[in-house]
């Protein structure tokens, strides 16, 4: 447990320190994030798959928030088109944690239960950057209507991600 705490503390210290480190510069490029995995971790829905892509723009503001837009599709007509905002936090030189928030339009295929089209997505991604700039990661997402309608049939997704920088 102590090595994990030391890694998290070291990542927090490194992401809060100022300076133009190489790892911070690598995060400035727009990118595409390709994702594939399980859309609903619910046995009743038979664990439908999901494939998607998100365009992530350069970070903006002093908070380094990166806007994006994307879509995900699944079986039987499931689709989710969204806009999001995210922020990368470095955990050492090659590891990153990226929380994100999104809102979008959900098309309810025949599998999943939400009746609303307006849905919200919150997520967290852990990734590792390689020498060529690619980042391989694992993301966990929660998608729901945020309690705007009842029932609030939310779902969780687990996705394998590949982030590809569009500039070097």
Task: Give the Cα separation of 102 and 32 in Å (integer).
Answer: 16
Task: Give the Cα separation of 73 and 54 in Å (integer).
Answer: 12
pLDDT of 46 strictly over 80: no
Where residue 22 falls among pLDDT bands split at 50, 70, 90?
very low
Q: Stretch 20-49: mean pLDDT, rounded?
A: 71
User: Do residues 90 and 129 make contact, with C-beta atoms less than 8 angstroms apart?
Assistant: no
Q: Stretch 91-106: mean pLDDT, rounded?
A: 94
pLDDT at 49: 81
Task: Give the Cα separation of 47 and 64 in Å (integer).
Answer: 35
Q: Stretch 89-103: mean pLDDT, rounded?
A: 95
**Range with the poorest average pLDDT among 54-63, 110-119, 142-151:** 110-119
Report which of residues 10 and 119 the model is more confident about. Answer: 119
**In the chain, domain spans:** 2-165
Q: What is the pTM of this model?
A: 0.78
pLDDT at 112: 57
Report which of residues 8 and 127 the model is more confident about. Answer: 127
Task: Give the Cα separation of 27 and 43 in Å (integer).
Answer: 37
Instruction: Identify the CATH class of 2-165.
Output: mainly beta
């Amino acid at each position: 447990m102590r090595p994990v705490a030391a890694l998290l503390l070291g990542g927090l210290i490194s992401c809060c320190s100022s300076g133009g480190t190489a790892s911070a510069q690598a995060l400035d490029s727009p990118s595409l994030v390709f994702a594939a995995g399980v859309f609903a971790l619910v046995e009743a829905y038979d664990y439908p798959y999901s494939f998607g892509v998100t365009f992530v723009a350069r970070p903006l503001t002093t908070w380094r928030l990166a806007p994006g837009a994307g879509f995900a599709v699944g079986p039987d007509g499931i689709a989710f088109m969204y806009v999001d905002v995210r922020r990368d936090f470095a955990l050492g030189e090659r590891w990153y944690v990226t929380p994100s928030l999104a809102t979008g339009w959900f098309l309810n295929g025949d599998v999943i239960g939400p009746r609303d089209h307006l849905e919200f997505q919150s997520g967290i991604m852990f990734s590792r950057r390689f020498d060529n700039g690619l980042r391989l990661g694992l993301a966990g997402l929660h998608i729901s209507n945020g309690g705007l309608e009842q029932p609030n049939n939310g779902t969780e997704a687990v996705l394998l991600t590949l982030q590809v920088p569009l500039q070097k």
